[in-house]
A and B are shown apart, each in its own frame.
Chain A
Amino acid sequence: MTMAETYQTPDGRTIGGQVMEMKNITLRFGGVKAITDISFDIREGEIRAIIGPNGAGKSSMLNVMNGFYHPQEGEVWFHGKKRGPMKPHQIAKQGIARTFQNIALFSGMSTLDNIMTGRLTHMKTGILKQAMWWGPAEKEETENREVVEKVIDFLEIQSIRKTPVGRLPYGLQKRVELGRALAAEPKLLLLDEPMAGMNVEEKEDMSRFILDVNDEFGTTIALIEHDMGVVMDIADRVVVMDYGKKIGDGSPDEVRNNQDVIDAYLGVAHD
């Protein structure tokens, strides 16, 4: 696939160069192929969606992107460098944050503490200084708290700052989880079904937050979503997967008219 270095979106934003490139990724669990030879890229400032029917390998793809799974074949390039064998926490430090399909908040901690964990990759004070608290440790804590408070303001969750997350309703938990990922100020934000299980109103809220994140902070976003309407509305480009293979890639309009995609979603007569 050859493409110009930048492109323009219909609403007039300029999308930059490659942030991440997946080259010929194949992932197996034992004898089962979850992903077969998939390549695509994610560009600076865009909202990239990955869609496909259940079991298409979308979540596995996300897990490859943030290093939780290691593909048997293929390469992952991030900011122009090929990624070696790395642990997920090292990849997080490179600036990739994510949310999870089934909420993965730290249930024993408050909203504030949960979002503060998103800052952990930015906090460097040593154990001894932390033990003393005053001085550098307190200063660092305060600086990071300021970043977190901005995220809290942005997501409009000031009132639940000190509430244990276990007590929050589902929609708010999803929002806190997004907050935790945002607090890391990631270069690439991965969202695994950010709107799963939400009602229309909550979906609209979440869509707005995603667009605002992209717009205000310029964060590059890759997301998995089932709701076609939402995807077509907010994504700049869409990858379509089916049975672990890529069957379509392009702008929402291109994908919508792709015969393979229509077949995968509506079924096709085999003759």
Chain B
Amino acid sequence: MFYREAGDFKTTYADDSQTFPIKFDRYRYWAVLAFAFLVVPFIINDYWLNAVVLPFLIYSVAAIGLNILTGYCGQVSLGSGGFMAVGAYACYKFMTSFPGMDIFSVILLSGFVTAAVGILFGLPSLRIKGFYLAVATLAAQFFLVWLFNKVPWFYNYSASGQINAPERTVFGYAVTGAETHAWAVYLVALIFVVVLAVIARNLTRGSLGRKWMAIRDMDIAAEIIGVNPMTAKLSAFAISSFYVGVSGAMFFVLYLGAVEVGEAFGIGKSFIILFMVIIGGLGSIFGSFAGAAFMVLMPVLLKNVMVGQLGWATDLAAHFEFVIVGGLIIVFLILEPHGLAQLWRLAKEKLRLWPFPH
């Protein structure tokens, strides 16, 4: 009824290619943004921030990053954990070397450092494809974690081998360090997420996005119609790594505060982010959010039900989590390889016709 495109005529090509071609979607999008910026900061507390909201926001950025590489450009990466570590350690080095630098610049610079590392590890993609590349990205994962563990310069020779986020403020409110304001931390993360998501959307619907998708769908044909595979693949690696690096930096300074590389950014992290992208939907920005929400909320929910309600031991709940996540991955791949985003799309298609489906 309200959700329709009839009567909503497009008179320019610009109108036709906008992100939300349906009016109702546009209104909803602005409503969500308004709620996130104007309402949530007043109601958020430490529990909700750390258990749900912050991990969701940060993982969303990582999932968008991996989705650019895997979902749009078709290059499977199992090295996201390693690239998040690059972002986190770059962030730490910038913060300790330049105490005057503000937190936004630090996180952005960390992203650029990660992008450079991403290009380096993306070079093999010019020669090898598919599984070979997926396995090759594991090299990045293991090597990077080893590097941050073994070279003391990265953790400023601290005895514990950990890195700790020093305090930084925005307009006088602490956002990193020991004493932070939940709403301030939230807003910093939210600004990054919104800006990066909009940029990702713009890149993927423009000519760069088409180059990536052409490479993904058929690389040889793409090259023959004029896509330079080198720039297309390396730009995907660079931009994807930038996103993953930013999320790693935020994961460190905003969320954990203290990091031991093997624990925080091990191969398990790479898989979690990959799962977010699969469950959410390959090649969809919305899917990245949906996947991140799912993977963040599900363990919290399971824990609440099994430990909180049934009174089971936490390790039992943890095992169930593995079974459920693994099982869901398989079920999703069998039933809907395009993930939650596709379910959402189908629901919208139904809604568009409702209440007159014929």
- Write the residues of chain A forming the contact surface with B, with a CB cutoff of 8 angstroms: 66, 68, 87-89, 92-93, 97-98, 100, 104-109, 113, 116-121, 123, 125, 127, 130-133, 137-138, 140-142, 145-146, 149, 180-181, 184
A120 contacts B226, C-beta separation under 8 Å: yes
Known: A127-B203, A130-B203, A145-B17. Is A89-B216 also a contact (CB below 8 A)?
A: no
Contacts of B122 in A (CB 8 A): none
Ordered by A's residue number, 7 sampled pairs between the chains whose C-beta atoms are within 8 Å are A88-B223, A118-B225, A127-B203, A130-B208, A131-B199, A138-B14, A142-B12
B308 vs chain A, min Cβ distance (A): 42
A180 contacts B225, C-beta separation under 8 Å: yes
Which of B38-46, B139-147, B171-179, B227-235 forms contacts with chain A?
B227-235
Contacts of A140 in B (CB 8 A): 207
Contacts of B218 in A (CB 8 A): 104-107
A120 contacts B202, C-beta separation under 8 Å: no
Contacts of B223 in A (CB 8 A): 87-89, 92
Known: A104-B221, A120-B225, A137-B206. 20 other contacts (CB 8 A): A88-B224, A89-B226, A93-B226, A97-B225, A98-B224, A104-B220, A106-B213, A107-B217, A108-B213, A109-B213, A117-B210, A119-B207, A123-B207, A127-B235, A130-B206, A131-B202, A131-B203, A132-B202, A180-B225, A184-B226
A89 contacts B210, C-beta separation under 8 Å: no
Contacts of B220 in A (CB 8 A): 68, 104
- Write the residues of chain B forming the contact surface with A, with a CB cutoff of 8 angstroms: 12-14, 17, 199, 202-203, 206-208, 210-211, 213-214, 216-218, 220-229, 235, 239, 283
B213 contacts A113, C-beta separation under 8 Å: yes
Chain A residue nearest to B201 in the complex (CB):
A133
Q: In the complex, which of the residues A123, A125, A141 contacts B17, with contact meaning CB atoms closer than 8 Å?
A: A141
Contacts of B216 in A (CB 8 A): 106, 108
User: A131–B17 Cα gap in the complex (Å)?
Assistant: 15
Chain A residue nearest to B215 in the complex (CB):
A106
A127 contacts B208, C-beta separation under 8 Å: yes
Contacts of A142 in B (CB 8 A): 12-14
A132 vs chain B, min Cβ distance (A): 7
B213 contacts A137, C-beta separation under 8 Å: no
Q: In the complex, which of the residues B207, B222, B226, B283 contacts A130, with contact meaning CB atoms closer than 8 Å?
A: B207
B210 contacts A141, C-beta separation under 8 Å: no
A117 contacts B206, C-beta separation under 8 Å: no
Contacts of B203 in A (CB 8 A): 127, 130-131
B329 vs chain A, min Cβ distance (A): 21
Known: A87-B223, A130-B207. Is A106-B214 also a contact (CB below 8 A)?
A: yes
Contacts of A108 in B (CB 8 A): 213, 216-217, 283
B214 contacts A117, C-beta separation under 8 Å: yes
B278 vs chain A, min Cβ distance (A): 15
A100 contacts B207, C-beta separation under 8 Å: no
Interface of B is mostly: helix
A220 vs chain B, min Cβ distance (A): 18
Known: A104-B218, A120-B211. Is A141-B226 also a contact (CB below 8 A)?
A: no
Interface of A is mostly: helix
User: A180–B217 Cα gap in the complex (Å)?
Assistant: 15
A116 contacts B210, C-beta separation under 8 Å: yes
User: A121–B226 Cα gap in the complex (Å)?
Assistant: 6
Contacts of A180 in B (CB 8 A): 225
Contacts of B228 in A (CB 8 A): 87, 89
Known: A106-B217, A107-B217, A133-B206. Is A92-B224 also a contact (CB below 8 A)?
A: yes
User: A130–B200 Cα gap in the complex (Å)?
Assistant: 10
Contacts of A138 in B (CB 8 A): 14
A92 contacts B13, C-beta separation under 8 Å: no
Q: In the complex, which of the residues B13, B17, B227 contacts A120, with contact meaning CB atoms closer than 8 Å?
A: B227
User: A123–B214 Cα gap in the complex (Å)?
Assistant: 15
Q: Can you list the 10 inter-chain pairs with the closest CB atoms, starting with the nearest?
A: A92-B226, A104-B221, A106-B217, A121-B226, A133-B202, A123-B207, A145-B13, A130-B206, A131-B199, A89-B228
User: A89–B230 Cα gap in the complex (Å)?
Assistant: 10
Contacts of A105 in B (CB 8 A): 217-218, 221
Interface centre among B17, B211, B217 (most CB of A within 10 A): B217
B60 vs chain A, min Cβ distance (A): 18
User: A88–B220 Cα gap in the complex (Å)?
Assistant: 9
Q: In the complex, which of the residues B12, B199, B225 contacts A117, with contact meaning CB atoms closer than 8 Å?
A: B225
Contacts of B211 in A (CB 8 A): 117, 120
Contacts of A130 in B (CB 8 A): 202-203, 206-208
B128 vs chain A, min Cβ distance (A): 18
Contacts of B208 in A (CB 8 A): 127, 130
Contacts of A116 in B (CB 8 A): 207, 210
Contacts of A87 in B (CB 8 A): 223, 228
Contacts of A109 in B (CB 8 A): 210, 213-214, 217
A183 vs chain B, min Cβ distance (A): 9
Contacts of A117 in B (CB 8 A): 210-211, 214, 222, 225, 227
User: A131–B208 Cα gap in the complex (Å)?
Assistant: 10
A47 vs chain B, min Cβ distance (A): 21
